[in-house]
A and B are shown apart, each in its own frame.
Chain A
Amino acid sequence: MGSLLALVGSPSAAELLAWSPPGWGATLVAGLWNSILIALGAYALGLAIGIGGAFGKVYGGPVLRDLLEAYTTLVRAVPELVLILILYFALTDAVNKIIALWDYGPIQLSGVAAGIGVLGVVQGAYSTEVIRGAILSVPHGQIEAARAMGIPPVLLARRITLPLMLAAAIPGLANLWLIVTKDTALLAVVGFVELTKATSLAAATTKAFFTFYAAAGVLYLILSLGSTVIFHRIERWARRGQRPLSGGGR
Chain B
Amino acid sequence: MKTLVMIAAAALSIGSAVMADPVKVGIAAEPYPPFASPDASGNWVGWEVDIINAVCKAAEMDCVVTPVAWEGIIPSLNGGQIDAIMASMSITEERMKVIDFSDKYYNTPTVVVAAKGSGITPTPEGLAGKTIGVQVSTIHEAYAKAHFPDAVLKTYQTTDEGFQDLAAGRIDASQADSIAIDAFMASDAGKACCEIAGAVADDPAILGAGVGVGLRKGDTELKEKFNAGIKKILEDGTYDAISKNYFASSIYGG
A27 touches B81 (CB 8 A): no
B30 at the interface (CB under 8 A from A): yes
Cβ–Cβ < 8 Å partners of B177 in chain A: none
Cβ–Cβ < 8 Å partners of B38 in chain A: 27, 201-202, 205
The contact of B2 among A26, A102, A197, A198, by CB within 8 Å, is A102
Interface size class of chain A, counting residues whose CB lies under 8 Å from the partner chain: 35 or more
B31 touches A112 (CB 8 A): no
- With contacts A191-B67, A207-B187 taken as known, whether A89 is within 8 angstroms of B75 at the C-beta atoms is yes
Instruction: Pick 21 A–B contacts, CB within 8 A, sort by A.
Output: A26-B40, A27-B38, A27-B41, A30-B42, A89-B72, A92-B79, A92-B80, A92-B81, A96-B80, A104-B5, A104-B6, A108-B16, A108-B19, A190-B72, A201-B30, A204-B31, A204-B160, A205-B39, A207-B187, A207-B189, A209-B164
B41 touches A26 (CB 8 A): yes
Per-residue contact bits, chain A 191-212, to B (CB 8 Å; 1 contact, 0 not) = 1010001100110110101000
A92, A96, A109, A197, most chain B CB atoms within 10 A: A109
A111 at the interface (CB under 8 A from B): yes
A113 touches B14 (CB 8 A): yes
B15 at the interface (CB under 8 A from A): yes
- With contacts A104-B9, A106-B80, A204-B31 taken as known, whether A190 is within 8 angstroms of B20 at the C-beta atoms is no
Distance in Å: Cβ of B192 to nearest Cβ of chain A: 12
Distance in Å: Cβ of B84 to nearest Cβ of chain A: 13
A110 at the interface (CB under 8 A from B): yes
Binding site for B on A (CB under 8 A): 21-24, 26-27, 30, 85, 88-89, 92-93, 95-96, 98-99, 102, 104-113, 189-191, 193, 197-198, 201-202, 204-205, 207, 209
Q: Which 9 A-B pairs have the closest CB atoms?
A: A191-B69, A191-B29, A110-B16, A21-B40, A110-B15, A27-B42, A112-B15, A108-B16, A22-B40
Nearest CB to that of A31 among chain B residues?
B42
Distance in Å: Cβ of A98 to nearest Cβ of chain B: 8
Nearest CB to that of A109 among chain B residues?
B12
Question: Given the complex of chains A and B, what is the CA–CA distance between A77 and B11 in angstroms?
Answer: 30
B90 at the interface (CB under 8 A from A): no
Residues B109-156 near A (CB distance < 8 A):
none
- A-B CB pair tally, cutoff 8 Å: 102
B178 at the interface (CB under 8 A from A): no
B79 touches A93 (CB 8 A): yes
Question: Given the complex of chains A and B, what is the CA–CA distance between A92 and B9 in angstroms?
Answer: 11
B16, B38, B42, B69, most chain A CB atoms within 10 A: B42
A21 touches B41 (CB 8 A): yes
B211 at the interface (CB under 8 A from A): no
B13 at the interface (CB under 8 A from A): yes
